[in-house]
Amino acid sequence: MIHTGYLVFELRRTMRSTRFLVFTVAFPIVLFVFFSQLFGNDTPDNAAGIDYHSVIMINMTAWGAMSAALYSGARVAVERGSGWQRQLRLTPLSGVGYLTGKGLSGLGVALPVVILVPLVAITTQGVRLSGAQWVQATVGIWLAAIPFALLGLLLGQLGTSDSMQSITSMLMMVLAILGGLWVPIEVLPDWMHQLARVLPSYWMSQVGRSAVDHHEALSSCALVLAVWTVVLGGLVALRYRRDSARG
């Protein structure tokens, strides 16, 4: 089901896109540095005494990983529109193999930001975490990108190549703002906080934050994200079956 040749092909294509690198790698790094300068040195006003640098690092990592995973899947719409998908249907690559390749490449292209934002945080802002905390803030966030790769695939299956770019950007903004990735969730009014707890983006950032401030339990994060994964995976599979039955 997993074609290495296809996966490598997809990864190379995506990593070659300047727009992709700017939005999913450069922006999160630049914003990390910017937010760190603005808020990072504020005296922690909470009991736990969290270092804002690490919170901003986690949020920017989550934002970049989410965008990368979403972007990659959403490109399915472009390939459906252009007819390249039709050409691929005339090769031994199955529909499942195609979607798996796209999904996995979405996770693959989320790796650079997951590595680079923490690196920049360590070198420029002197962020220090324990080994276990680092695993949660990097590997944890990376795995939390799975539902977003699926969400991207679903958008790619439903949207058209014209509508895709605006839909994806809009969704990224909504997920980022309401999920507390850009603005710390504590600053948002209570009703928005409640809304955030439904969104996978909130739980994605909490995977990292649970390592530094125990705002939410890691097990709750895992559970909510697993539910999102199952629901989105189911929708992708359902849509795929409809598409193939249409023939």
Partner 1 sequence: MDVGMTPVRVGTAITLRGLRKRYGDVVAVDGVDLVVAPGEVVALLGPNGAGKSTTIDMLLGLTAPDDGDVSVFGLAPHEAVTRGVVGAMLQEAALPEDATVAEVVGMVGSLHDDPLPTAEVLRRSGIVDVANRRCAKLSGGQRQRTRFAIALVGNPDLLVLDEPTTAMDVSARKEFWTSMREFTDQGRTVLFATHYLEEAEEFADRVVLMRGGKIVADGTVAAVREAASGRTVRATLPGADRERLAALPGVTAASVRGDRIELVCTDADAAARALLIEFPRAKDLEVSSVGLEAAFLALTSEQEQR
Which residues form the interface with partner 1 (CB under 8 A)?
3-6, 8-9, 12-13, 16-17, 79, 82-84, 86-87, 89-94, 247
At its nearest, how many Å lie between partner 1 and the CB of residue 176? 26
At its nearest, how many Å lie between partner 1 and the CB of residue 235? 24
- Cβ(77)–Cβ(156) below 8 Å: yes
Nearer to partner 1, 12 or 128 (CB): 12
Nearer to partner 1, 5 or 126 (CB): 5
At its nearest, how many Å lie between partner 1 and the CB of residue 118? 28
At its nearest, how many Å lie between partner 1 and the CB of residue 1? 12
Nearer to partner 1, 8 or 174 (CB): 8
- Cβ(88)–Cβ(76) below 8 Å: no
Nearer to partner 1, 3 or 197 (CB): 3
